[in-house]
Amino acid sequence: MKKEKLRVIPPAERANPDLESGKYLLMWQGPQHPGITGNMSLKLIVEGDSVVDCETHVGYLHRGFEKLMERRLWMQNFPLVCRIAVPEPDFNEYCYAAALEELAGIQIPDKAVWLRTLSLEMIRLASFLMWIGGQAGAFGHGTIIQWSVTMRDYVLDLFEELSGGRIYHMYIIPGGVRGDVPAGFFKHVLEIMDTVQKNLDDIELVMFHNVVFKMRAEGLGYIPADWVDHYGITGPNARAAGVARDLRKDLGYLAYPRLDFKTIVGQKSDAYERARLRLLEMYQCIDLIRQIVDQCPKDGPFREKLPNPLYWKIPAGETYVAAECTRGEYGFYVASDGSDKPRRVAVRGPSYTHAVAVMERLARGVNIADVAGLMVSLHTYPPEIER
């Protein structure tokens, strides 16, 4: 019986429910709703307790980043970009910096490469830890968030030590990184990785063997493998569907080619599988961080000298730099017309497709209580949709 439930594919066409008939109820989930990821909303049409139609509404966090960036100097955009995604600002910083370096023809020192990789992996871990709390919470499991957010906080402590910022690190600056590792930092990293790993073991026991979580998450939000290209699905959502796609391997940026890791691929592609895959990726993060600490050069320059940021002009050109963030393909398209300000910066956030097109389809037929769990299982974050 369960087997069939696992393979439910929601219809591609939208239902056209007649709201006047009295059979349906229109209700909003969000923006002010505990079961929503960030400040966004879902417009649900429900029949009984199952969703007939779902529309994603975004824009509550729209600040017009792409417009603002066209008004600012190249270097002035550096503090701005990290605000596009609060839980993982470093991917923005990296993509923007890498795009600039590519257009300006700058080679960054090896140490900066390693520290950038470290920074990206640490924030990946932190973001996953935040997510797993949300995922458990969306299914009514309030314990996990108590642990995982604390673990995330420990990782943020590391960031504070390294970069001076807790949430917005502003560490990966065009040309390299902003500072060398402080004394004793790597030791702290390893200690905290041990703590987090111990906690992940607990989470695995408590969450993934929890009967309620299992029953509710299994079969929820099934994504067939052939959707991946059709919808532009990336990251763990694609990997859980059995498509081995990881930009860290595919693009081989930063120090990833020098690290030993395998792309983790799932099969069932439902909410449970996605959660499980992310848990495994958290272990992978910890492993990668340990490898980085091991291999990171202890000396050497951490940044390349840049021209005066007040007049820095980037040669005309365009590029697209992508990185594998926790949710998938995070990319910056940067076009320069040779002036001291960008001509166009476009941000490609993985949530763009996950939270809108994919979510709207997956929600069809779902029990209303599971909408929150489904939403979180796609791991979306609204600011990168609306920028």
Partner 1 sequence: MNELATRLAARYGARGWHDQRADLATIVLDADRLRDALAYLRDQEGYRHLSFATAIDNIERGVFTLVYTLRSHDKGHSLIVHADIDRQKPVVDSIHLLWAQAWTYQREMKEWYGIDFPGSPRVDEEFVLEGWEGPPMMRRDFDSLAYSDATYAERPGRATSDPARHMKEQLYPEAAE
Partner 2 sequence: MSDKKLKPAPLANEGLSPDERGLFCDAAPREYEPAKGVIEDFYNWARAESLWILGFGTGCGAIELRPLMTSRFDMYRYGIQARPTPRQSCVFVIGGYASVKTLKRIVRSYEQMMGPKFVVALGSCTINGGMYWDSYNTIKRIDQYIPVDVYITGCMPRPEALLAGFQELKKIIKAGKGEGQNIYARDFAWYKANQKQIIKNWDMPDYNW
Partner 3 sequence: MDIKDFIAPFAVWKRAFEKPFTVKKPIDERPGAPRYRGFHINDAERCVGCGTCEAICMNKAIDLVPVEGREAKEGDSGLRPRVDYGRCCWCALCVDICPSGSLNMSNEYLWIDSDPDVFRYTPGVDKKPWDGAELGYRRAEGYRLLDEQRVPMAELGHREAVKSFLELVQGYSRAQAEKEADRCVSCGLCIASCPAHMDIPGYIKAVREGDLDTGLRLLYETNPFPEACGRICTHLCEGACSIGTGGDPVAIRWLKRYIADQVELSAYAKALPRAEPSVGKKVAVVGAGPGGLSAAYYLALLGYEVKVYEKDGEAGGMLRYGIPEYRLPYPALDKDIGYIESLGVTIKRGVAIGKDLSLSDLRRDYHAVYLSTGLPVAYGLEVPGDKHPRVLDGVAVLAAATRGEELGLGKRVAVIGGGNVAMDAARTALRHGAAVDILYRRREEDMPADADEIREAKAEGARLIEKSIPVEVKDAAGALAGKAALFVWNEAEMVQKEEGKRPVPEAIPGALREELYDSIIAAIGQGPDLSYVTEEDGVPMKRFKPLVDARGMASPGASPKGGAIFAGGDLVNDRKDAISAIADGHRAALSIDRHLSGKGA
Among 100, 223, 240, 358, the residue binding partner 1 under the rule CB under 8 A is 358
Rule CB under 8 A: is residue 257 a binding residue for partner 1? no
CA gap 120, 382 in Å, rounded: 20
Rule CB under 8 A: is residue 282 a binding residue for partner 3? no
Give the tokens for residue 268: 């069932």
| Of residues 41 and 148, the one with the C-beta less far from partner 1 | 41
Answer whether 23's CB lies under 8 Å from 38's CB: no
Helices 271-295 and 110-138 sit at what angle, rounded to 10 degrees? Answer: 150
Q: 3-class SS at 67?
A: helix
Residue type, 92: N
DSSP 8-state symbol, 108? P
In degrees rounded to 5, what are phi and psi of residue 304? -100, 140
Among 46, 75, 279, 314, the residue binding partner 3 under the rule CB under 8 A is 75
**Which residues lie closer than 8 Å to 205 by C-beta, 6 or more apart?**
none
Rule CB under 8 A: is residue 180 a binding residue for partner 3? yes
Among 49, 202, 226, 294, the residue binding partner 3 under the rule CB under 8 A is 202
Among 48, 64, 79, 300, the residue binding partner 3 under the rule CB under 8 A is 79
Tally of CB atoms within 10 A around 297: 12
Residue whose C-alpha is closest to residue 269's, from 220, 235, 329: 220
| Of residues 178 and 245, the one with the C-beta less far from partner 1 | 245
In this structure, the dihedral spanned by the alpha carbons of residues 192, 193, 196 and 202, taken in order and rounded to 10 degrees, is -130
Among 353, 366, 378, 381, the residue binding partner 1 under the rule CB under 8 A is 353
Rule CB under 8 A: is residue 58 a binding residue for partner 1? yes
| Of residues 348 and 379, the one with the C-beta less far from partner 1 | 348
Q: Which residue has the tokens 């041990």?
A: 194
Q: Which parts of this chain interact with partner 1 (CB under 8 A)?
A: 12, 58-59, 62, 64, 66-68, 70-71, 102, 227, 229-232, 234, 245, 250-251, 317-320, 322, 329, 331, 333, 335, 343-344, 346, 348, 352-353, 356-358, 361, 386
Q: Which parts of this chain interact with partner 3 (CB under 8 A)?
A: 72-73, 75-80, 83, 147, 150, 157, 160-165, 168, 170, 178-180, 182, 202, 205-206, 209-211, 214-215, 301-303, 305-311
